[in-house]
Amino acid sequence: MNIYHKTTQKLRRKLQRSESLKGYLLLSPTILVMAGIMLIPFIGMIILSLWTQIGYAKFDTTLTLNNFIVVFTNEMYRVLFSRSLVVSAMTTFLTVLLAYPMAYFVAFHVQRRKLLWIILMTLPFWTSYLLRVFAWKVILGYNGVINSGLLWLGIINEPITLLLYNPSAVIITLTHAWAAFAILPIYVSLEKIDRSLLEAATDLGDSPLARFFRITLPLSLPGVVAATVLIFIPTVGDYVTPSLVGGSDGYMIANAIQFQFGRGSNWPLGAALSLSSMAVVTVITIVYFLVSKTLTQNIR
Amino acid sequence: MDHIKILSVSKCFGEVIAVNDVSINIKKGEFFSLLGPSGCGKTTLLRLLAGFEMPDKGEIIIDGIEMNGVPPHQRPTNMVFQSYAIFPHLDVTANVAYGLRKSGLSKAQITQRVTEALELVKLSGYEARKSNELSGGQRQRVALARALIMRPKVLLLDEPLGALDKKLREEMQIELRTLQEQIGITFVFVTHDQEEALTMSDRMAVMGDGIIQQVGTPREIYEQPVSRTVATFIGNINLLEGIVLSRSSAALSVELPIFGKVEIRNSGPGRAVGETVSCVIRPENLSIGASPTDSSIGVILQRSAYFGKSTYFIVRAEDSSIEITVSMQNSRVAPQAGSHLWISWDSSDLVILDE
Ligand SMILES: Nc1ncnc2c1ncn2[C@@H]1O[C@H](COP(=O)(O)OP(=O)(O)OP(=O)(O)O)[C@@H](O)[C@H]1O
Ligand SMILES: [Mg+2]
C-alpha cells in the first residue's frame, strides 16, 4: 500500500514537472491511432516487398531484394518514374503560377469579405474529384467542347486527337483539381505581410514591380513552398486522373502499382514500387525544403 | 524660407474627416512636431506629406515643388514608420542599404555609406543581425539609418519613440535632437506625448479632430495657449471662468472665483464689459505657503499628490467649491488635508483664452 502510494506520488510529481511528458500523454490516443493505421501497414509493406509471389495470395517468405532490383533496373519503371515526376512538377508549377495571382488579388485588392472571395474561388473544388476529371474529358475529348467549338468556327476540319489521352491532359486536369490547395497557403502568407513594409519599400524608392520582387515575393515564399509540397506529394501518386485522361502515354507510376496489386498480381513488386516512389518523393521534398530555405535566407 | 507649405489640405475617409483644412508652413532645417490625441489625424497628415495618401482638397509644396500626384518614391521625403517596418528577411546592412540600389553608387561606396549611417545612429557591430534579433530601440535606429542614408530633404517620423520605455525614450529624444542639428535637415515629428513635443521641437502644431488648434514655439504653446483644447491637452492647467468688469486698451479687469478681481493683459480679440471669459494659469505659476504674504489669498487644502520632484496641492477657497491645483517643487512639508494655506500669483501668468 505504502509503496503504491509512493510510486503514484513520484509519477504525479514527474508529470507536473515535465511539459513534454504531458504533451505525449495528451497525444497518446492520436499516437496509437497513427501507429495502428500508418506504422503497422508500413512495416507490413516493407516485409511484403522483400517476399516473392508464387501464386494467388501465396508468397515465398525468404527475404530478398529482387523486387527492388527489378524496380531500379527495369527501363519501363524508370520511364514511369520520370514521367510521374515531370507531370507532377509541371502540375505543381502551373498550379502555383495560377494560384498566386488569385491569392494576391484577394490579399491586396479585395477590401471587404475576403473570406467570401476565397470560398467562391474554392467553390468548384467542393464537387467530386471524379466529376471534375470527367468534366475535363468532356472538354478535351474527340467530340468535346474544344473540338466542336473549333469545328464550328471552321478553324479545323476534323477533331484534334492531341488534346486528350496524353501527359498534358493529365497536367491540365491535375492543375485544375489542385488549384484550391495552392490558393490557401499562398493567400495566408500574403495576408500576413505587414502593409507598412510595402510602404517602406515604396518610400525608399521602389517602383511597384521592384517592390514585388524585393519584398512581397520573398516574404510570401513560405506559402509558395507549402503550396508546392502540398501539391507535389499527392500528385506524384495520383492514379485516377492518368487512368481516365492520360491514355497509355499518360500512364504514371501509381498506375503501375495499382496494376501489380490488381491484374498483375505481384503484390511484393507493387509494395517495392510504392516504397521506392515514397523514398524518391521524400528525398526530393527534403532537398527542395533545404534549397528553398537557404534561398529565402539569402534573398537581398 | 518655407521649406514645406501645406495649403488648406483636407482628407476624408468615408464619413471621417481625418485632416480638416490644415495649413502649416515649416521652415528649412526645423524640428517641427505634430502633437495631438490619438485619432486626431497626425499620421494621416504625415502620410499626406510622404505621398501615401493624396489630399482631397488643398496642396502640399515641398522645396518649391508642388507634390500633388507625385508618388512616394519620387518625393524628397523619407519616413520612419510607427512600427519601424524593418524588412524581416534582410539583415541590418541590407535594410539600411535598401534604398541605394538604384542610386548608381558602387558597391564600395554603398558599404561606405552604410557604415557611416550605422555609426551615426550608434549601431556599428550589428550589421549581420536580422530584425528579430534586435531590441525595440535598435530597430528604431535601423529605421532611422535606413531613412537617413537616402539623404532626404525632409524626414518624417511617426511616433518613433512610442514603443520605447521611458528612460530609453528620454535618451533617444536627446540623441534624435542632436542628430537633427548635426545633419540639419527638416524633421516633421509626430507624437502624442506633450513633454516630448515641448522638449524637442523648434516649433510645433497642436492638432485636435483633424484641425490645427495652434502653431508656435513650445514656449508660446505652453504659456499662451489660445484654446481650451490646447490648454488642457498640454500639461496640467487651472481653468477658471470670469466676468469682465472693465477694459482698457492694455488690460482687462476680470472677476474670477478664488482670485477675486485681477488685471490681465489684453492680447486677444476685444472683450466687452460683462462678457464671460475663460482664464488659465499653470499650477507651477502659483505659489503656496503656510503663512500669508501681502497679496496672498487663504485656501483650504483638499488633498495632495506626490510626484517625486514636485507635489501637487489641490485647494479650494473657503467660500467656494471650485478647486485649483498648485504645484511646488521640493516641498519638505506635507500639510494635512483641511489645513489652511495661502496662495499667491503673478497676474502676468494669467492668460485669457481666445474662444
Ligand atoms: N485608411 C483609413 N481608412 C479609414 N479611416 C482611417 C484610415 N486612416 C485613418 N483613418 C481615420 O482617420 C482618423 C485619423 O487617423 P490617424 O491615423 O491620422 O490618427 P493619429 O492621430 O495618427 O492617431 P494615433 O495617435 O492613434 O496614431 C481616425 O479617426 C482614423 O480612424
Ligand atoms: Mg498615428
Q: Give yes or no for B146 touching A (CB within 8 A).
A: yes
pLDDT of B101 reads: 87
CB contact under 8 A, A199 and B146: no
pLDDT of A202 reads: 93
CB distance A237 to A231 below 8 Å = no
Mean pLDDT of A214-221: 93
B42 Cα nearest atom in ligand 1? 21
CA nearest neighbour of A237 among A205, A204, A279? A279
Q: Is the pLDDT of residue B13 over 90?
A: yes
Q: How confident is the model at residue A109 (pLDDT cuts 50, 70, 90)?
A: very high
Judged by average pLDDT, the poorest of A159-168, B3-12, B61-70, B178-187 is: A159-168
CB distance B31 to B57 below 8 Å = no
* Domain B2-226 identical in fold to domain B238-353: no
Q: Closest-lying ligand to the alpha carbon of B192?
A: 1
Cα of B313 from ligand 1 centre, angstroms: 37
- The sign one gets for the Cα dihedral A58, A64, A68, A71 is negative
DSSP A65: S
pLDDT of A276 reads: 94
Adjacent-strand bridge partners of B239 = B280
CA angle B103, B105, B109 (to 5 degrees): 135
The whole-angstrom distance between A121's CA and the closest CA on chain B is 29
pLDDT of A297 reads: 66
**Torsions phi, psi for A47 (to 5 deg):** -65, -45
> Who among A206, A207, A300 is closest to B90 (CB)?
A300
CB contact under 8 A, B81 and A196: yes
Mean pLDDT of B150-174: 89
pLDDT of B47 reads: 94
Mean pLDDT of B250-276: 80
Mutate to test the interface with B, among A199, A204, A295 (most CBs of B within 10 A): A204
* Residue B83 neighbours by CB distance under 10 Å: 16
Q: How confident is the model at residue B269 (pLDDT cuts 50, 70, 90)?
A: low
Q: How confident is the model at residue B191 (pLDDT cuts 50, 70, 90)?
A: very high
Q: How confident is the model at residue B213 (pLDDT cuts 50, 70, 90)?
A: very high
Cα of B340 from ligand 2 centre, angstroms: 46
* Residue B298 neighbours by CB distance under 10 Å: 12
Contact list in A for residue B98 (CB cut-off 8 A) is 201, 204, 214
pLDDT of A300 reads: 41
Query: What is the rounded distance in angstroms from the CA atom of residue B191 to the CA atom of residue B67?
Result: 24
Report residue B44 as a C-alpha cell: 494621416
pLDDT of A1 reads: 57
Query: Could you tell me the fold of the domain covering B238-353?
Result: OB fold (Dihydrolipoamide Acetyltransferase, E2P) (2.40.50)
Cα of B149 from ligand 2 centre, angstroms: 24
The whole-angstrom distance between B66's CA and the closest CA on chain A is 18
pLDDT of B1 reads: 65
Mean pLDDT of B112-140: 90
* Domain B2-226, CATH class in plain words: alpha beta
Judged by average pLDDT, the poorest of B31-45, B83-97, B157-171 is: B157-171
Q: How confident is the model at residue B188 (pLDDT cuts 50, 70, 90)?
A: very high
Tell me how far apart the terminal alpha carbons of chain B are, to the nearest angstrom: 31
- Spatial strand order of the sheet with B57-62 comes to B16-27, B2-13, B57-62, B65-66
Q: Give yes or no for B72 touching A (CB within 8 A).
A: yes
**Torsions phi, psi for B294 (to 5 deg):** -70, -25
Q: Is the pLDDT of residue B21 over 90?
A: yes
pLDDT of A44 reads: 92
Mean pLDDT of chain B: 88
CB contact under 8 A, A204 and B73: yes
Mean pLDDT of chain A: 88
Q: How confident is the model at residue B248 (pLDDT cuts 50, 70, 90)?
A: confident
Q: Is the pLDDT of residue A299 over 60?
A: no
Superfamily in which the A76-299 domain is placed by CATH: MetI-like (1.10.3720.10)
pLDDT one-digit tens code per residue, A260-283? 988 888 999 999 999 999 999 999
Ligand 1 residue neighbourhood (C-beta within 6 Å): B 13, 16, 18, 36, 38-44, 192
Q: Where are the domains of chain A?
A: 76-299
Q: How confident is the model at residue B355 (pLDDT cuts 50, 70, 90)?
A: low
**Which value does ipTM take for this structure?**
0.80
* Percent residues over pLDDT 90 in chain B: 42
Q: Is the pLDDT of residue B304 over 90?
A: no
CB contact under 8 A, B89 and A207: no
Adjacent-strand bridge partners of B253 = B246, B263
The residue of chain B with its CA nearest to that of A202 is: B73
Judged by average pLDDT, the poorest of A13-27, A189-203, B80-94, B310-324 is: A13-27
Mean pLDDT of B189-211: 92
The answer for B 8-37 residues in CB contact with A (under 8 A) is none
Judged by average pLDDT, the poorest of A6-15, A243-252, B162-171 is: A6-15
Judged by average pLDDT, the poorest of A131-140, B52-61, B86-95, B332-341 is: B332-341
Q: Give yes or no for B328 touching A (CB within 8 A).
A: no
Report residue A261 as a C-alpha cell: 496489386
pLDDT one-digit tens code per residue, A145-167? 888 888 888 888 888 877 888 88
Mean pLDDT of B169-179: 89
DSSP A288: H
B46 Cα nearest atom in ligand 1? 18
Q: Whose CA is nearest to atom 14 of ligand 1?
A: B41
Q: Is the pLDDT of residue A200 over 70?
A: yes
Rounded (10°) angle between helices A66-73 and A267-298: 60
Q: Give yes or no for A295 touching B (CB within 8 A).
A: no
Q: What is the pTM of this model?
A: 0.80
Contact list in A for residue B154 (CB cut-off 8 A) is none
